[in-house]
């Protein structure tokens, strides 16, 4: 069956940014909306835009603990006024009596007639209880005006916004107690390899603990996904095909690690092409070259997308952060953020990477007030110690040596935590 969504498969190694663009373009939001109480919606993705129900702030109010006054009264009395009112936060809107000032607190409604608030630390109270003010009091000083942040009917949050603590507070501040969110993205996680054993099992020579599964499980949960663990699959086409078929029916996305290279025991690509199709295979990065995007089913549009990550754990992490993560965000209905990078000076020298962009795991040190990048440790694609310590990546263009004191593109790791 041809649904009309076929596109040519890309062969050869893709540039990192071309691959990222293709990943984002291929990520279609999943269907399904549920309404949740606000206190259960943290971290979820907003399914519909929300507009402000009321002005924010709702009334003119004081930005400081201090005194509200009428400038004309201050001018008429020579700079000192008696306290005639006390206005705490939560009080109703009052009128300011003529000839006096009001003791007022942060967030309290500004009394009608007042045109300035003076912080208490800028005043002096004499023995008679009169408040002495500075010689110059600016009109409108320390007053939060009604609607200066938001007006009723204005956009509050757009669809696709992640409900961070600040976003939840913004909604709560409007009196909103339930919100429409997209259902959680269901991701089937498959680890391939005859050598893999799970943590807690007895180790034997040649066995490798499944660190990728443990790592990706945490990464998926941190992104608000529902992780369907299908465990370790042995290196046979039949076992892999059976796992792919189970995953296709149960999940919105299949995430597979290992078996995605071109060796005799790497079966992901041929099985994927039998059960669906391949969008691209191979990205010109080090580590992370054996990365694949494809689908399970009759066509891309109707099928279940599959991402194949390398088996080496650092390569798997790089593939997740730079390529798989924006795809996950797109499936969740979020707008994937641009990849952040900026120049940082290298504090070391290193030979040029051949033919691929190299992603060096680095830590930053501030020398003379400016950041300088140093290698976080061993750079092998199996060396998780450096990945754990790294602050981010120094991205080195193909065939470009690293020279100490020169600047290169630095990609901060913190961006992959949002």
| 38-53+154-182, CATH topology level | Molybdopterin biosynthesis moea protein, domain 2 (3.90.105)
Which tokens hold the place of 301? 């549009």
Q: Specify the pTM.
A: 0.88
Which tokens hold the place of 322? 């730079």
The residue among 230, 274, 235, 270 whose CA lies nearest residue 253 is 230
CA atoms of 122 and 127, how far apart (whole Å):
17
Taking domain 61-144, whether its CATH number is 3.10.20.30 is answered by no
pLDDT at residue 259 in the model: 81
pLDDT at residue 8 in the model: 45
Question: Domain ranges in the chain?
Answer: 16-32+184-331, 38-53+154-182, 61-144, 342-417
Q: Per-residue confidence of the chain (418 residues) as pLDDT tens digits?
A: 334 344 444 457 999 999 999 999 999 999 999 999 999 999 999 999 999 999 999 999 999 999 999 999 999 998 999 999 999 999 999 999 999 999 999 999 999 999 999 999 999 999 999 999 999 999 999 999 999 999 999 999 999 999 999 999 999 999 999 999 999 999 999 999 889 989 999 999 999 999 999 999 999 999 999 999 999 998 899 999 999 999 999 999 999 999 877 665 678 899 999 999 999 999 999 999 999 999 999 999 999 999 999 999 999 999 999 999 999 999 999 999 999 999 999 999 999 999 999 999 999 999 888 999 999 999 999 999 999 999 999 999 999 999 999 999 999 999 999 8
The residue among 248, 310, 250, 302 whose CA lies nearest residue 275 is 248
**What CATH superfamily classification does 342-417 receive?**
MoeA, C-terminal, domain IV (2.40.340.10)
pLDDT at residue 12 in the model: 77
Length of the chain: 418
pLDDT at residue 326 in the model: 98
What is the SS3 assignment for 282? coil
E strands along 167-218, which residues?
Answer: 178-182, 186-192, 196-197, 208-209
pLDDT digits (tens, 9 = 90+) for 102-124: 999 999 999 999 999 999 999 99
pLDDT at residue 116 in the model: 97
pLDDT at residue 357 in the model: 97
pLDDT at residue 7 in the model: 44
pLDDT at residue 235 in the model: 86
DSSP-assigned states of every residue in 74-88 = HHHTTSEEEEEEEE-
pLDDT at residue 265 in the model: 62
The C-alpha torsion from 200 through 206 and 212 to 213, rounded to 10°, is -40
pLDDT at residue 251 in the model: 97
Distance of alpha carbon 142 from its chain centroid, rounded? 34
Q: Is 257 exposed, middle or buried (0-12, 13-18, 19+ CB in 10 A)?
A: buried
The CATH number corresponding to 16-32+184-331 among 3.40.980.10, 3.20.20.370, 3.10.620.30, 3.90.1150.10 equals 3.40.980.10
pLDDT at residue 31 in the model: 94
């Amino acid at each position: 069956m041809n649904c009309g969504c076929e596109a040519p498969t890309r062969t050869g190694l893709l540039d990192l940014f071309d691959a990222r663009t293709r990943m984002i373009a291929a990520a279609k939001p999943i269907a399904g909306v549920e309404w949740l109480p606000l206190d259960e919606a943290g971290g979820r993705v907003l399914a519909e835009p929300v507009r402000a129900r009321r002005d924010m702030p709702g009334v003119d109010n004081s930005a400081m603990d201090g005194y509200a006054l009428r400038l004309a009264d201050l001018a008429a009395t020579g700079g000192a006024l008696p306290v005639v009112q006390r206005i705490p936060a939560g009080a109703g809107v009052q009128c300011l009596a003529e000839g006096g000032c009001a003791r007022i607190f942060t967030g309290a409604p500004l009394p009608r007639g007042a045109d300035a608030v003076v912080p208490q630390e800028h005043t002096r109270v004499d023995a008679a209880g009169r408040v002495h003010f500075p010689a110059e009091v600016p009109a409108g000083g320390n007053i939060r005006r009604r609607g200066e942040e938001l007006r009723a009917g204005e956009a509050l949050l757009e669809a696709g916004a992640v409900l961070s603590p600040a976003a939840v507070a913004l909604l709560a501040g409007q009196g909103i107690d339930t919100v429409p969110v997209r259902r959680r993205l269901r991701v089937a996680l498959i680890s391939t390899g005859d050598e893999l054993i799970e943590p807690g099992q007895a180790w034997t020579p040649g066995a490798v603990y499944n660190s990728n599964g443990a790592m990706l499980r945490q990464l998926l949960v941190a992104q608000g996904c529902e992780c369907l663990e299908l465990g370790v699959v042995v290196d046979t086409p039949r076992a892999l095909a059976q796992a792919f078929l189970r995953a296709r029916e149960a999940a919105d996305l299949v995430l597979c690690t290992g078996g995605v290279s071109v060796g005799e025991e790497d079966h992901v690509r041929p099985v994927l092409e039998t059960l669906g199709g391949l969008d691209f295979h191979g990205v010109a990065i080090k580590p992370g070259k054996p990365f694949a995007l494809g689908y399970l089913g009759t066509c891309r549009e109707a099928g279940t997308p599959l991402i194949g990550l390398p088996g080496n754990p650092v390569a798997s992490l790089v593939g997740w952060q730079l390529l798989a993560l924006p795809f996950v965000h797109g499936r969740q209905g979020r707008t994937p953020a641009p990849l952040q990078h900026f120049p940082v000076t290298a504090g070391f020298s290193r030979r040029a990477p051949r033919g691929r962009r190299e992603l060096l795991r680095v830590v930053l040190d501030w020398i003379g007030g400016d950041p300088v990048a140093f290698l976080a440790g061993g750079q092998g694609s199996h060396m998780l110690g450096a990945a754990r310590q790294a602050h981010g990546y120094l991205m080195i263009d193909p065939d470009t040596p690293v020279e100490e004191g020169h600047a290169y593109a630095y990609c901060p790791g913190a961006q992959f935590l949002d």
